[in-house]
Amino acid sequence: MTLANRAAIAGIGATEFSKDSGRSELRLAVEAVSAALADAGLRPSDVDGLVTFTMDGNAEIAVARELGIPELSFFSRIHYGGGAAAATVQQAAMAVATGVADVVVAYRAFNERSGHRFGQVSSAAAGQVNTSGVDNGFHYPMGLATPAATVAMVARRYLHDYGATSEDFGRVAVVDRKHAATNPNAWFHGKPITLADHQASRWVAEPLRLLDCCQESDGGVALVVTAAERARDLRRPPALIAAAAQGSGPGQYVMTSYYRDDLAALPEMGVVGGQLWRQSGITRDDVDVAVLYDHFTPYVLIQLEELGFCGRGEAKDFIRDGTLELDGSLPLNPHGGQLGEAYIHGMNGIAEAVRQVRGTAANQVPGARHVLVTAGTGVPTSGLILAAA
């Protein structure tokens, strides 16, 4: 038995994406879940499972209470920051595939810009009394204390090992912002950037510039997962979960896997990719759209390598001639990604994958049938392949 095609995403919902939502995170979560249920044509009373990130501030029971979900038979949380995104859908799919639950909603909602900003130094992350706190003891006190800085350490080595340049990172940002520019729901709608803009943006943590870093956003996204057969009877065409996988690699740390032989790599994403191809039976050539986690541009290049779209160190050449454009061979983040649309910890990328499979995206890739989605990078992570029914 495999998980392939046994469950589907039947509904998607989101709040607006902003810099100051003006309401509580719980309110955002409830609005997103409510919108996703309406999209699926389901009611709160149909829901019996909820899944979110360990980082989410909204308890499953709080969401259930507010929405009037009477009983939950399944609730679960996934750890490791944005690495959880696709894994929340995997949890939901496993629950419905095994009959543990019928309708599971995965959600993520936060005031990440107006409230607690992940880009700042987190003394809580440094001071947590557990193994991650002990791990962070070898990094935070030494001054390496922000997500951008932790990525910059790997990015610097990547530039050195493969002769890539800051402009190669910038090309990822330019594509994302180009796509966001024509997505009315994107924060950067109507605001494309040029490579010169990227090169002129200030240093955040060299070799990362401001425009290598994703936005900070307020907002919420929810995804309704149910069994594939049931999804076929609902309002929307189902987005089949052709594969769902988590991955952690050897010598794994959270953002600081600096002690492996090869620093300029993301082996945990290789672990995810291998499962996705095997589980779904589809090949890289079958992928019509790639929604790759883009909190920082260098990790998009390394993901392309880890997922096998090109060889190690070859991403800079792979993306050079329009590969990632909407009419290229591997359209990237048609919604604009987290650099362009919003940073909802990867969940907005899964919603975009559903729209692409349905054929309803703002920047629709014609005839898209298979969409690859990845979750947070630099951390233990996850991925999905969604397919048209």
Partner 1 sequence: MSAAGIEAAARDIAARGESAPRPARDPVNQAMVNNWVEAIGDANPVYTDEEYARRSIHGGLVAPPAMAQVWTMAGLHGTRADDDPLGAMMAVLDEAGYTSVVATDSEQTYHRYLRPGEHVAASTRLESVVGPKRTALGEGWFVTTRTTWWVGGEAVADMVFRVLKFAPGGQKPSTPDTSAVLRPVISRDTEFFWAGTRAGELRIQRWGGTLRHPPGPLPPDGDLAAKPDWVVAEGTGTVYSYVVHHHPKVPGRTAPFVVALVELTEGVRVLGELLDVRPGDVRIGLPVEVTFVRVDDELTLPAWKVRA
* Residues forming the active site: 293, 343
Q: What is the token pair recorded at 284?
A: 């890289």
| SS3 state at 318 | helix
Find residue 241's DSSP bridge partners. Answer: 386
Find residue 258's DSSP bridge partners. Answer: none
Asked if 163 is part of the footprint of partner 1 (rule: CB under 8 A), the reply reads no
Q: Look at the block and give the residue holding tokens 């049938």.
A: 369
Tell me which H or E stretch contains 104: strand 103-111
Asked if 19 is part of the footprint of partner 1 (rule: CB under 8 A), the reply reads no
Taking CB under 8 A as the criterion, the residue among 20, 65, 98, 134 binding partner 1 is 134
Euclidean distance between the first and final Cα of the chain, in Å?
19
Asked if 153 is part of the footprint of partner 1 (rule: CB under 8 A), the reply reads yes
Asked if 275 is part of the footprint of partner 1 (rule: CB under 8 A), the reply reads no
CB 211 within 8 A of CB 171: no
Asked if 141 is part of the footprint of partner 1 (rule: CB under 8 A), the reply reads yes
Tell me which H or E stretch contains 373: strand 370-374
Q: What is the token pair recorded at 79?
A: 């750890």
Q: How far is C-alpha 229 from the geometric centre of its chain's CA atoms?
A: 26
Asked if 139 is part of the footprint of partner 1 (rule: CB under 8 A), the reply reads yes
- Segment contacting partner 1 (CB under 8 A): 61-69, 77-85, 156-164, 230-238? 156-164
Taking CB under 8 A as the criterion, the residue among 41, 57, 115, 119 binding partner 1 is 119
Task: Tell me whether residue 1 or residue 124 sits nearer to partner 1 (CB atom).
Answer: 124
Taking CB under 8 A as the criterion, the residue among 68, 70, 73, 137 binding partner 1 is 137
Task: Tell me whether residue 190 or residue 259 sits nearer to partner 1 (CB atom).
Answer: 259
Taking CB under 8 A as the criterion, the residue among 20, 206, 262, 321 binding partner 1 is 206
Task: Tell me whether residue 131 or residue 194 sits nearer to partner 1 (CB atom).
Answer: 131
Q: What is the largest CA-CA distance in the chain?
A: 57
Task: Tell me whether residue 114 or residue 182 sits nearer to partner 1 (CB atom).
Answer: 114
Asked if 133 is part of the footprint of partner 1 (rule: CB under 8 A), the reply reads yes
CB 333 within 8 A of CB 215: no
Q: What is the token pair recorded at 363?
A: 């920047």
Q: How far apart are CA 67 and CA 35, in angstroms?
A: 11
Q: What is the token pair recorded at 187?
A: 């924060």
Task: Tell me whether residue 100 or residue 144 sits nearer to partner 1 (CB atom).
Answer: 144
**Smallest separation (angstroms) from partner 1 to the CB of 119:** 7
Asked if 365 is part of the footprint of partner 1 (rule: CB under 8 A), the reply reads no
Q: Say what angle helices 267-280 and 298-306 make with each other, to 10 degrees.
A: 50
Task: Tell me whether residue 120 or residue 360 sits nearer to partner 1 (CB atom).
Answer: 120
Asked if 200 is part of the footprint of partner 1 (rule: CB under 8 A), the reply reads no
- Using CB under 8 A, list all residues that contact partner 1: 119-121, 123, 126-131, 133-146, 149, 152-154, 156-157, 160, 202-206, 256, 258-259, 263
